[in-house]
Amino acid sequence: MHPRLTTSTTTLRLLLGWVAVMTFSSQAHAWWNEEWSVRKKLTLDTSDKGVAISDPIGGTEVLIRLSDNNFNFQAVKEDASDLRFIAEDEKTVLKHHVEKWDSLLNEGYVWVNVPDVKPGATTTIWLYYGSQSPKAVKAEDGKGTFAADTVLAYHFGENGAPPVDASSGGNKAENAGVPAPGSLVATAIRLLGQTPITLSPSPTLEWAEGGALTWSAWIKPAALAPNAVIFSRREENRSFVIGLNNGAPYVQIGAQQSAAGTPISVGVWHHLSVVASGSTTTVYLDGKSYGTVPAGLPALKGPALVGKDSSPEAKTVAGFTGEMDELHLAKAARPMGYLRFAAINQGTAAEAGKLLVVGADEASAAESGGELAKQATLIKDISKDLTLDGWVVIVLCGLLAVIGWAVAIAKLLYLNKINKATKEFLKRWEKVSNDLTALDQSDEESIKSLGGTVNAKGMKLMRHSPLYQIYHLGSAEISHRMRNAKGEFTGLSGRSIQAIKAALHGGLVREVQKLNSKLVFLTIGIAGGPYLGLLGTVIGVMITFAVIAKSGQVEVNSIAPGIAGALLATVAGLAVAIPALFAYSYLSSIIKDAVSDMETFIDEFIAKMAEHHKEAGN
């Protein structure tokens, strides 16, 4: 294969490999929105490595507990308006709502709707925060957090007011309960067994005979009593009652009651749920089947009581005594995997930390790029507050910077070419200067080629050397005198030597002018950049204070953006001047060395030529 073809193929393969690596890297580190600077990976692990749940779960609302142990409250807005939850595809925004957010105590409870939690596997979602963008406004959707068939969801965080339905059912209670702050999930209610919470009738709470229902709540009994009713609904001869009989949960439909199992303990939170499907109703305790009754859901549409039986005979009988949290009702028969997931996720046992794994903070590309990238992001934000005059100054500074860098790069390349040409010339000159008889010819070509010792390629390179130009000028002066001598050429007189030296110094001046050409643009950038920047800053500060005077708002938030934007003009001016200063100093030192080489060469050239062409008789 041809060598060039082999090289091209190798280059192509390397290029394709680089593209593949960059594509994979961009996919592996995909970021939902760069305006959000921090994210956390939240893993729902229902495999054997987490909490094994093999039964179907489906879509569910997930409780995210945030504290100092797993979340940086300093990086989020005080009202948590920049919280966003994104699906594993890094595109789909998940619906969420905040039950409680306390930036002083660093405590947060957030509910997120995850459309499909896989059993026996891991499901990943992302928590994004840390955005100062105007787009980062509150995006909570309480009704969308719960499934459409959820008709009631009480968080009991109203602090003395009647419970408000967080779901789309819109079922508000008629009376308030006694708040119990610092409970299982933020705030619960305390039921005293005598004053129940009444749920008013509504279309969403109407039950059809044999229909589907899931009732669930967290309970913590303060005492164990016989037939302590937790929830009751009665109408004519139809009834639906959930309670504790000496600590044993049960459901009673009409005259049929589920069998008693192992009683629960006093002062311990338990997740209790009842699922009606067809002709069977099942009691679940902490996500596990506890008991069943061979009866389906009765047709009921009247009021319901929480914490006491609604029958007239039970008016004097105490109901449930203890605390309750997260009362949910759904017109669907939830699978056992769903109930098991809720019982573990919403609880505080060690299994909750295995089921929901909160990852470490990950910074965006701008954040993870280091301090320089962070500052670049800040400058981008500051630039949004720049006034028109500030932009004019920055544009002018940008033009100075572009011109200055163009001159500096072009001059550096030019000096590099001169350096190579000078090295080539000095190498040839060292050989010729030891025997100048090779130059004792009056034709132009002999002078250019140093007496025929340099080929065309070498001459093309040496033409860029100032030393070669001075040599050529001096040799031409000597050749001119040799051709115009009256009679035989007898050497150079003292006056001729002085005239040639003057001609060489004239050539030196012209070469120095060429070396220093266009460096004035760098000096303009050095001197003018800071003044331009200062002008923009002064005008920006003036405008900022004028706006404050008119609005009357003297706050840091109203002053800081304008001042920061004004100072950006000064930064732009210094960003032009400082690189220009360094470039000018470096180039000047190279030019100074080149001038010194030319002066030294002139002295050497004159001395050697004067000695070689000394006038007869001297």
Query: Residue 22: pLDDT above 70?
Result: no
Is 31 in contact with 363 (CB distance < 8 Å)? no
Higher pLDDT among residues 605 and 454, named by residue = 605
Q: Which domain holds residue 551?
A: 371-618
Q: How many Cα neighbours within 13 Å face the side chain of 274? A: 26
Q: Is 330 a residue whose pLDDT tops 70?
A: yes
Specify whether 615 is located in the same domain as 475: yes
- Contacts for 60 with CB less than 8 Å, ≥ 6 apart: 113, 114, 117, 338, 341, 342
Q: Which of 75-79, 218-222, 313-317 has the lowest mean pLDDT?
A: 313-317
Query: Is 266 domain-assigned?
Result: yes
**Residues 170 and 45 both lie in one domain:** no
For the segment 3-23, the average pLDDT, to the nearest whole number, is: 37
At residue 111, the pLDDT reads 97
Is residue 29 in a domain? no
Q: Is residue 11 included in any domain, yes or no?
A: no
Provide the number of structural domains found in the chain.
3
Polymer length in residues for the chain = 618
- Residue-wise DSSP of 274-331: EEEETTEEEEEETTEEEEEES-----B-S-EEESS--SGGGTTS---EEEEEEEEEES
Instruction: State in Å, rounded, how far the first CA of the chain is from the last one.
Output: 71
Are 111 and 154 in the same domain?
no
Task: Look at residue 13 and tell me if it is in a domain.
Answer: no
Average pLDDT, the chain: 85
Which residue, of 339, 364, 389, is where some domain finishes? 364
For the cut 80, the answer to whether the pLDDT of residue 484 exceeds it is: no
Of 329, 330, 251, the residue nearest 290 (C-alpha): 251
- Specify whether 465 is located in the same domain as 439: yes
Regarding whether 168 and 109 lie in a shared domain, the answer is no
**Residue 20 falls within a domain, yes or no?**
no
Residue 501, both tokens = 């030296």
CATH number for the domain including 248?
2.60.120.200
pLDDT in tens, 336-354: 999 999 999 999 999 999 9
In this structure, are residues 230 and 324 in contact, taking their beta carbons and an 8 Å threshold?
A: yes
Does 325 share its domain with 426?
Answer: no
DSSP 219-253: EEESS--TTEEEEEEEETTEEEEEEEETTEEEEEE
Q: Which two tokens stand for residue 271?
A: 């997740």
111 in Cβ contact with 62 (< 8 Å): yes
Model confidence pTM above 0.85: no
Distance of alpha carbon 441 from alpha carbon 597, whole angstroms: 26
Q: How far apart are CA 528 and CA 543, in angstroms?
A: 23
Instruction: Specify the pLDDT at position 122.
Output: 96
Rounded to whole angstroms, how far apart are CA atoms 573 and 556?
A: 26
Same domain, 467 and 535: yes
The answer to whether residues 418 and 466 touch, using CB atoms and an 8 Å cutoff, is yes
Distances (CA, A) of 534 to 177, 389, 527, 547, 553: 65, 12, 12, 20, 26
> Are 201 and 271 members of one domain?
yes
Q: Which of 333-337, 480-484, 511-515 has the lowest mean pLDDT?
A: 480-484
Residues 497 and 404 reside in one and the same domain: yes
143 touches 124 (CB < 8 A): no
Does the structure show a pLDDT above 80 at 560? no
Per residue in 368-385, pLDDT (tens digit) is 555 555 566 666 666 666
The C-alpha atoms of residue 56 and residue 502 are separated, in whole angstroms, by 100
134 and 200: one domain?
Answer: no
Kindly provide the b/e burial profile for residues 385-416, where b requires at least 16 CB atoms within 10 angstroms of the residue's own CB: bbbebbebbbebbeebbebbbebbeebeebbe
pLDDT digits (tens, 9 = 90+) for 32-50: 998 899 999 999 999 999 9
Mean pLDDT confidence for 310-339: 91
Please provide residue 275's backbone torsions phi and psi, each rounded to the nearest 5 degrees: -120, 120
Q: What is the DSSP letter of 7?
A: H
Reference 504, options 611, 432, 605; nearest CA is: 605
Range name among 8-17, 77-86, 97-106, 439-448 with the lowest pLDDT average: 8-17
Residues 405 and 453 in one domain: yes
- pLDDT tens digits, residue range 128-149? 999 988 888 999 998 999 999 9
Supply the Cα-derived Rg of the chain in whole angstroms. 44
- φ/ψ region of 247 (left if φ > 0, alpha if ψ in -120 to 50, else beta) reads left
Residue 28 maps to a domain:
no
- Per-residue pLDDT at 209: 96
Distance from C-alpha of 504 to C-alpha of 510, rounded to nearest angstrom = 10
- Residue at a domain's end among 343, 364, 385: 364
Q: Rounded to a whole number, what is the largest CA-CA distance in the chain?
A: 151
> Residues 423-481: pLDDT tens digits?
888 887 777 776 666 565 556 676 677 666 677 777 778 888 888 888 778 877 777 77
Q: Say how far apart CA 132 and CA 37 lie, in whole Å.
A: 9
Angle between helices 556-612 and 371-383 (to 10 degrees): 120
Residue 10 lies in a domain: no
Higher pLDDT, 357 or 458: 357
Query: What is the token pair recorded at 544?
Result: 């900022």
With H, G, I as helix, E, B as strand and everything else as coil, classify residue 588.
helix
* Helices (H) then strands (E): counts for the chain: 13, 22
Does residue 8 form part of some domain?
Answer: no
What is the model's pLDDT at position 3? 38
Residue with tokens 């596997």: 121
Do 565 and 593 sit in the same domain of this protein? yes
Tokens, residue 2: 């041809």
Q: What is the pLDDT of residues 164-207, one digit of tens each?
A: 999 999 998 999 989 999 899 999 999 999 889 999 999 999 99
Tokens of 106: 């660093």
List Cβ neighbours of 221 (8 Å cut-off, separation of 6 or more): 228, 244, 247, 264, 266, 267, 320, 321, 322
Which one of 331, 348, 380 terminates a domain? 331
